[in-house]
Structure 1
């Protein structure tokens, strides 16, 4: 029998709620016996359900029915949906802080800012970004700073420059989901690298046959952790020994400790203004080693990933006049306060995060499956992100969820965390609905 027909039957059971989010599917051998099919066919059925987004595998636990994607249809009991998925922060008075910079731009040079600009930007922009990205004794050479429309485009340009179609890129086993989409569009295969609580394991990099590695060593998304200096040194030695290039995503580094790139001479740092300011003010930066500047610049131009002149001119003004620095100081304080709030409201749970992160990683109690918990939270009007959204290999996700803490008002966040705490203290069978 065609495995897709069997998958269709299971999908129908899920749609009719005969199988509910969080229900565990039988082990593949038992499934094969029940349906009179070969074990290899059962494996293909499960693979098809995972591919359709209907099921998720949890390492060492089995395969479970996946929660429906949250969206406009999400129930909103007692008020608006509480979104703990979106991971950004905009200060209440941020528009007032940014407005003078726009007034200055209109007054002093709007005509010039409306003309095209290249990937290398302007000398003023390069100098401003080099000062902004400096950390841990490392200051990038101004001549190596390149500009894209946003951080996602910076990642795409660098990956395109470093890894050919059909090539392999090493990434943390759970990673920023957009990297998965970028790799798929570029024809690049992602190779998951094992991690522990300190970050990527050097032996995992040594065992991988890859052209480059993409890492988030500071305030990892979704894990929220920061790689300690000892592990950074070990990884730096590893990539040097293997002659690998590194793509270091520093989008959250402004919130974390003052640490330099892993191996600066072979690391391309990518960053943007989206977290420092707001998603709608995204100018992306890429700072490659000197011998890769022309290659990354060419990739950005060919991909159409160059920053707009107006956005770049506005960003340069805000970086130069101290506006960004002032906003960043306040966002650091807000992130630290939200982390304290999360730990106060979720006592006794396995919460992992850097003290300065916008988000935290919640390893759920064993009695809960991540997909079951996501579905139960959604019924209470709270959206959280399951680990499966970040897993590089479909069906190999930890039993965890990510909570984004910064974009929800503090009182709303506190109430939502109280609801989630009470939910996690209970048992899944107490939350079943017809």
Structure 2
């Protein structure tokens, strides 16, 4: 049944922002049990096709990109007004409108492929390739551990290579960490607006997310302590640096306060540093303040590429065995080829070069954001950071997140509705997240201009 609904979405019979029937109505129409309808809607949410807003219903998310990608190709005839910048062609999604995908957020810079290929050339030798494609243990190889320690080091902190493990990507690293730290039914404190896949992971593991209030520096220590007093937390998941989607970064003082509260609580922490590489001047991570409690998670997906990546976990000695078992049992351990690729990319300077290029790229994109969006006089509140590849827009009244997403999709732009990031489905308010990384700078400028037009009701 989920496949049937998915086909209706793909065919455009259900469009971005459209409200689905209530689960009770869906069950009645299909002649199924209410519990089955709940499972169908849960599966659609797991696939990222719908988003639920407590008290308002379930809505179709903005259209996903064509399988060929959302990149734009030059030299094609101009599309009709409102569906792309002049002189550029956007792939047809089959839903009657072109999509510039500002949901996906994968930064790619000029020359990236050539840099990556140069380092991978030696792996094409038959003897080397055979070894590189063997299965790998969760702790990888000594060379991979040294390379990962080099990548993760910042703010005066460098993890002990002997305390590093590897997953296929950061999502698998988070899943393995929570699986090893929290039993089913356990409570995990998270920022009230958080990385959406943490919600999906929690559902799969049978753990409950407890939203913790945030301010301009992220998670509030007093709110965390109060949540723990109400009912003990089994763990905390937190993004102290360039929080996704709010872009906030905790200062050194806030991190000390959080560390003190967590030490008193006595529970472990999963610290997500996936986007932190963009903040060169960020303070040392919580892992430096609580080395006995923090599992630090990161990956190469944003630094290098999402399709051939590597999840990295720096864990306290007392957690290593349980974490390694979790990686094995979940099938989350990294492949040998990814480990070998990472060693070469770190060793020849590819990662360092790409990080520098992406830090420069994000500054250019924020000039566009300041000029085309924040400086355009459109109402609402913007949360972002000049080092961040995303922007959180608290929409002006009377816009609601799901209707704005639908209106943007009708103009050929996909953005993510705020409720997708809410830990409890309610606290995100009427906001959208705008990903800045994936389109070209020219297309990004056009897309932001169009979103402003949507917000003020011009055209389309």
Superposed pair shares fold, TM > 0.5: yes
Say whether the 8 Å CA contact 2:419–2:428 is kept in structure 1: yes
User: Matched residue of 2:63: which SS?
Assistant: coil
Match of 1:196 in 2: 215
User: Matched residue of 1:279: which SS?
Assistant: coil
Map 1:30-179; keep pairs closer than 5 Å.
Answer: 57=53, 63=56, 66=59, 68-71=61-64, 77-78=83-84, 79-80=89-90, 81-107=99-125, 109-179=128-198
Partner deviation per Cα, 1:359-388 (whole Å, 9 max, x = no partner): 111111122111111111111000001101
Measure, in 2, the Cα distance between the counterparts of 1:72 and 1:138: 39
Structure 1 position 396, deviation (Å):
3.7
Structure 1 position 353, deviation (Å):
1.2
2:331 is the alignment partner of 1:300? no
2:226 is the alignment partner of 1:233? no
Measure, in 2, the Cα distance between the counterparts of 1:213 and 1:178: 15
Match of 1:344 in 2: 371
Pick closer, same or farther for the CA change 1:245–1:409 going to 2, 3 Å: same
Say whether the 8 Å CA contact 1:56–1:388 is kept in structure 2: yes
Measure, in 2, the Cα distance between the counterparts of 1:234 and 1:70: 41
2:282 is the alignment partner of 1:261? no
Measure, in 2, the Cα distance between the counterparts of 1:57 and 1:204: 23
Match of 2:28 in 1: none
User: Matched residue of 1:332: which SS?
Assistant: helix
Say whether the 8 Å CA contact 2:61–2:417 is kept in structure 1: no
Pick closer, same or farther for the CA change 1:220–1:144 going to 2, 3 Å: same
Pick closer, same or farther for the CA change 1:65–1:162 going to 2, 3 Å: closer
Say whether the 8 Å CA contact 2:51–2:61 is kept in structure 1: no
Say whether the 8 Å CA contact 1:343–1:351 is kept in structure 2: no
Structure 1 position 227, deviation (Å):
1.5
Taking structure 2 as the reference length, what is the TM-score of the superposition? 0.78
Measure, in 1, the Cα distance between the counterparts of 2:351 and 2:199: 30
Measure, in 1, the Cα distance between the counterparts of 2:247 and 2:164: 27
Gaps of 5+ in 1: 1-14, 24-46
Measure, in 2, the Cα distance between the counterparts of 1:395 and 1:321: 46
Pick closer, same or farther for the CA change 1:312–1:50 going to 2, 3 Å: closer
Measure, in 2, the Cα distance between the counterparts of 1:310 and 1:63: 46
Measure, in 2, the Cα distance between the counterparts of 1:138 and 1:395: 37
Measure, in 1, the Cα distance between the counterparts of 2:449 and 2:163: 47
Match of 1:309 in 2: 336
Taking structure 1 as the reference length, what is the TM-score of the superposition? 0.83
Match of 1:242 in 2: 265
Pick closer, same or farther for the CA change 1:360–1:72 going to 2, 3 Å: closer
Gaps of 5+ in 2: 1-11, 20-37, 71-79, 91-98
Pick closer, same or farther for the CA change 1:56–1:181 going to 2, 3 Å: closer
Measure, in 2, the Cα distance between the counterparts of 1:259 and 1:104: 37
Match of 2:434 in 1: 403
Q: Which deviates more from structure 2 when the two are superposed, residues 414-423 or residues 390-399?
A: 390-399
User: Matched residue of 1:324: which SS?
Assistant: helix
- Number of aligned residue pairs: give it: 389
Say whether the 8 Å CA contact 2:241–2:282 is kept in structure 1: no
Measure, in 1, the Cα distance between the counterparts of 2:136 and 2:121: 21
